[in-house]
Chains A and B, each alone.
Chain A
Amino acid sequence: MENAGGSKQEGGRMKDIRLIAVLLPIIACGQVDDRTDPVVKRQSSLGSEIILYETAQSTVVQDGDWIRWRFIDKLSDSPEQLVYRGTRGEQGGCVFNRSGSSKGAVQDVVIIERTIAVNMNQCLMESERATLLESDAVARGLLPVEETKAGDQFTGAAQAGGSELQLQTAGNFSGSYRTLLQDILGITTTAVRSNVDWSTNGSCMLGWHRWWDWYKLTGSGWSIGTNGERGTTSGTLPCNDIWQQSWAFFSNWFFCGFTPTFADHADVQFHAFSDGTSSYSSSTNWYGACYWLLHFTDAYDPN
């Protein structure tokens, strides 16, 4: 009986060994296989961070609750660093406002501001901003040009006032302000822009026209909702401040595992002044299941 019991015990051990023989390699592989895991962890100076995506242009990492974009191509040698605390939005997410102005009638420059870190749990966003020669910004690919290739673009009818513009002469200016949301692949998903052309004698406006446009990436589920614009009344000629305000709301139900993500370019404003300067402001809110994968780039062409 004792031996029979021992034999049973041996048989049980054999079964265990066979089971382990079958499972061990699978378990061992399971320890290092990340087929369903999109992320890789590595140690940083701050602790463990997760690489979400890496391209020739940037690396996107998750560092605790922060998502950080590390761009290979610096905006400038010493870009201005800005940290924003947004406000909790009505539909969730955070509303971030930006604003700025040009200091003089300096032409052929563009001011780029782009997100470098976001913490949606704390409603915080860090960005970097620099003034660049427009030709340099275009050559370096800092002004996205996707709208010519892979998206739907709408340009609103222009409104105008005063004398007809003669843009080649002195005292004539052309400015715009555009907010874009880009995903972690660096693709522009949605964008809204306010544009104003104006001519001035230095103290009052002589003529102007204004218009707006929006863009959305095609083939990826983005659709446009509420949108519109307003600004200086057509046919009038204020002495100072020609303005254009534009807005558009976008949604995507396929972007993130069939759960909705929203991008609300709620207020994109450009103001042109008679001394040739201008100012801009915007209010952008993005929310939904995968809003943390989006970040913005603003392009402000002062005049």
Chain B
Amino acid sequence: VNVGMNRLRLSTTNTATWSCVIVATFSILFMGSCRRDQEPRVTKSALQRCIAKTGYEGAGDASPAVMAAARACAEKYITKPTVQLWAQKPGTSVPLDVRRDGDRVFVEAFLNCAKQKGMEVEVEQAGGGSIRIKARNGRNTTPIDSTDPAFLACTNSAEKAEHDRLLPFL
């Protein structure tokens, strides 16, 4: 009985070993095929690959059929916003005067923060309540754009201030 059990154990061990070998082999094979697929994904998204197959080159002057195919790709792969859209809600639920106050709170919070971070900021009216913001580095007067870390920190805190103002109505 013991010999039989030992054989069974040996057989089980062998089977387990072979299973591991098979798993490893298949995994390597599959991973290899994945890697082959993965390579273009470093530079191309699924959307872009889909559009590339249509022949559309991005110039907007392709044939209607090609453009329709390109748009079908967009509809297939872009089905939901990836940007948080709390800001989309105010129009329907927040009274106009509160929205305008939120606009004011944003600008004030941004300007206060910019001052603290040593930015020189000019604000111009662009019409209809919109403003143009011109920001410069206070030390070397180089223009600051929306990729500047200090600018981003200030717009983030300004967004929070505006959001807090609108929150009771959202």
A interface with B by C-beta (< 8 Å): 3, 7, 10, 13-14, 17-18, 20-21, 24-26, 28-29, 31-40, 46, 50-58, 62-68, 81-99, 117, 119-124, 126, 141, 144-146, 149-150, 182-188, 218-220, 254-257, 267, 281, 283, 287, 289-290, 292-293
Contact = CB atoms under 8 A, between A and B. Distances in A.
B41 A84 contact: no
Interface string B45-76: 11110010000111111001001101100110
Contacts of B67: 150, 187, 219-220
Given A85-B103, A255-B75, A293-B78, 20 more contacts: A29-B30, A40-B41, A40-B44, A53-B48, A55-B57, A57-B58, A81-B143, A83-B135, A85-B107, A87-B128, A88-B90, A90-B96, A92-B88, A92-B92, A97-B126, A117-B146, A121-B87, A145-B61, A187-B71, A256-B81
Contacts of B103: 85, 87-88, 123
Contact of A62 (B51, B82, B90, B110): B82
Nearest to B26: A25
B91 interface: yes
Nearest to B158: A122
Contacts of A119: 146, 155
A52 B45 contact: yes
A257 B80 contact: yes
Contacts of B134: 82-83
A126 to B, nearest CB: 5
Contacts of B3: none
Contacts of B27: 24-25, 28
22 contacts: A17-B23, A21-B22, A24-B30, A25-B27, A29-B34, A33-B34, A34-B45, A38-B45, A38-B46, A39-B47, A65-B84, A82-B132, A83-B134, A84-B131, A88-B91, A97-B126, A122-B155, A150-B64, A186-B59, A219-B71, A256-B80, A256-B81
Contacts of B88: 92-93, 120, 287
Nearest to A126: B146
B170 to A, nearest CB: 12
B145 A289 contact: no
Given A39-B45, A121-B87, A144-B60, A95 B132 contact: no
B106 A122 contact: yes
A160 B126 CA distance: 30
A25 B30 contact: yes
Given A119-B146, A123-B106, A28 B31 contact: yes
Given A34-B46, A85-B103, A185-B70, A121 B61 contact: no
